[in-house]
Amino acid sequence: MRPFRRLTALAALATLLVTAAPPSTAGAHGRTGYHRVGYFTQWGIYGRAFPVKKLDTSGAASRLTHVNYAFGNVSPDGRCYLDGGPGEGDAWADYQRPVPAEESVDGVADAWGEPLNGNFGQLAKLKARHPGLQVLISLGGWSWSTYFSDAARTPQSRRAFVASCIDLYLKGNLPVLDGGSGGPGAAAGVFDGFDLDWEWPNWPGEPGNVIRPEDRQNFTALLAEFRRQLDAYGRQTGRHHSLTAFLPANPATMDAGYEGRKIFRYLDFATVQGYDFHGTWEPVTNQQSALRVPAGAPGSPDFSAEVAIDAWLARGAPRGKLVLGIPYYGRGWTGVTGGGDGLFQPATGPAPATFEPGSEDYKQLKTLPGKGFTVHRDLRAGHAWLFDGTTFWTYDDPAVVLQKTRYIRRAGLAGAMVWSLDGDDDHATLTRTIGLGLGTP
């Protein structure tokens, strides 16, 4: 069988298997040694209509080992905090909003003013249905890494920062809100540990972020302080509390902000950015998440998942602690000229999309074939794209995801991570494909 037909048949079979399987409700997590990490976005309950319950009804939760809740904020004085101010937080979504019965994991509606409502309360219910599932609070992200450098700057600031995070998220001592939600111990047991998503130590991220040359050493020291306090807290709870980090794909960012091998002394594992290699900030169409650098790519050197993993390995990262990131969204351009299949061609700007020009969820992109768009593949490089003669979308479909899970297994990596779970369809097709590829159908 020719390679294209073989991969196409495999993709079709995977799609059939993952969409035909009934949603799981029992929480029987397969244990193959691979981490399967999914980011749940705080704001996904709004326009994307993606409540925690969908993780259960779609079958995604039974195929994940970790759910990372995005995000927790870092205050100007270097503390973990929850705030309802515009741009600073959404305590309503986190633990105040009364979740109606139709959106509740167990079908029971929240009452106004209960100590733990909202997403946090639903995550607690999800864990009750899936006892093997860990939930981590992810700190920072692109928008909330502004003061990470201040929090990590001195031994005293690190101690205070970590203590505040443990108090807020592990001990669950939430601020009391209007109506009564929150209070001492209100969220105890919801979170099992922390994911540090500092974007980026000693490297520009969102405009306005505080960055310092000493961030590189201070990131290691911050991990050491987290591990010290988490172990001390674990001796009280009788549990291991996980510590992970989200790491960049750019080798220059790695060298500026991270001490390579040293950071893995303290991490259970790290997730590696496997996307946003290219996007509409560039005037030429390109891949955003290819497994390998495509032949004829205009950039040299260029980014790919394999380049990112190899760069971390070269800097001393252990294979068994690297988790590859996979996108549940695509990047798109319009006004594409130059003909052919649309790849590496000039464009006039970002493609129209549901929430953000130039970025669209997989669940929307999967509907485009047959609507004037043709699916194109580079089997060697491991990426796919859609093109209708004018508009171009680079994205991961089940065939690409299967290729990546095969790479994860062959390379001896620790598993897969996805950003973000609300981009998948109602059958959790991509999450089921990851489960299929890593041994958890």
- Provide DSSP, 232-281: HHHHHHTS--EEEEEE-S-HHHHHHH--GGGGGGT-SEEEE--S-SS-TT
Minimum mean pLDDT among 26-30, 326-330, 352-356: which range? 26-30
Say what the pLDDT of residue 200 is: 98
Say what the pLDDT of residue 7 is: 45
Task: State the catalytic residue, choosing from 199, 259, 306, 360.
Answer: 199
Residue 118 placed within a domain: yes
Q: Give the three-class secondary structure for 149.
A: helix
Query: How many other CB atoms are found less than 10 A from the CB of residue 373?
Result: 19
Say what the pLDDT of residue 305 is: 98
Task: Note the residue count of the chain.
Answer: 441
Say what the pLDDT of residue 85 is: 86
Say what the pLDDT of residue 1 is: 34
What is the number of structural domains in the chain?
A: 1
Taking alpha carbons only, the member of 155, 179, 150, 182 closest to residue 168 is 182
Residue 159 placed within a domain: yes
Residue 64 placed within a domain: yes
**Alpha carbon distance 195, 70 (integer Å):** 9
Around 226, how many Cα atoms within 13 Å sit in the side-chain half-sphere?
28
Query: How many other CB atoms are found less than 10 A from the CB of residue 284?
Result: 15
Range of the domain at 298: 32-327+397-437
Question: What residues contact residue 331 under an 8 Å CB cut-off, 6+ apart?
Answer: 276, 278, 279, 280, 288, 358, 359, 393, 394, 395
Domain CATH code at residue 427: 3.20.20.80
- Predicted confidence band at 27 (pLDDT cuts at 50, 70, 90)? very low
pLDDT of 25 strictly over 70: no
User: What CA–CA distances, in Å, run from 32 to 237, 324, 409?
Assistant: 26, 16, 11
| Average pLDDT rounded to a whole number, residues 258-283 | 98
| Average pLDDT rounded to a whole number, residues 234-249 | 98
Say what the pLDDT of residue 8 is: 46
Q: Which residue has the tokens 């190899």?
A: 310
Beta strands 80-81 and 134-141, pairing class: unpaired
Residue 359 placed within a domain: no
pLDDT of 6 strictly over 50: no
Minimum mean pLDDT among 4-18, 348-362, 413-427: which range? 4-18
Residue 374 placed within a domain: no
* Structure confidence by residue, pLDDT tens digits, 63-101: 999 999 999 999 999 999 999 888 899 999 999 999 999
CB neighbour class for 387 (10 Å; exposed up to 12, middle 13-18, buried from 19): buried
* Structure confidence by residue, pLDDT tens digits, 190-229: 999 999 999 999 999 999 999 999 999 999 999 999 999 9
Say what the pLDDT of residue 300 is: 81
Q: Is 199 a catalytic residue?
A: yes
CB contact at 8 A, 396 and 418: no
**Alpha carbon distance 433, 402 (integer Å):** 7
**Alpha carbon distance 236, 187 (integer Å):** 17
Say what the pLDDT of residue 78 is: 98
Say what the pLDDT of residue 160 is: 98
| Stated pTM of the model | 0.94
Say what the pLDDT of residue 441 is: 62
Angle at CA of residue 368, ends 372 and 53, nearest 5°: 170
Query: How many other CB atoms are found less than 10 A from the CB of residue 10?
Result: 14
pLDDT of 18 strictly over 90: no
pLDDT of 433 strictly over 70: yes
CB contact at 8 A, 68 and 55: no
Residue 346 placed within a domain: no
Residue 236 placed within a domain: yes
User: What CA–CA distances, in Å, run from 176 to 80, 239, 240?
Assistant: 16, 27, 28
Say what the pLDDT of residue 84 is: 85
- As a whole number, the mean pLDDT across the chain is 93
Say what the pLDDT of residue 192 is: 98
Residue 431 placed within a domain: yes
Q: Where are the beta strands (DSSP E) in 42-125?
A: 66-74, 80-81
Query: How many other CB atoms are found less than 10 A from the CB of residue 252?
Result: 10
pLDDT of 129 strictly over 90: yes
- Assigned token pair, 404: 């990546």
- Please state whether 349 falls in left (phi above 0), alpha (psi between -120 and 50) or beta: left
Handedness of CA 388, 11, 415, 234 (dihedral sign): positive
Taking alpha carbons only, the member of 431, 399, 430 closest to residue 65 is 431
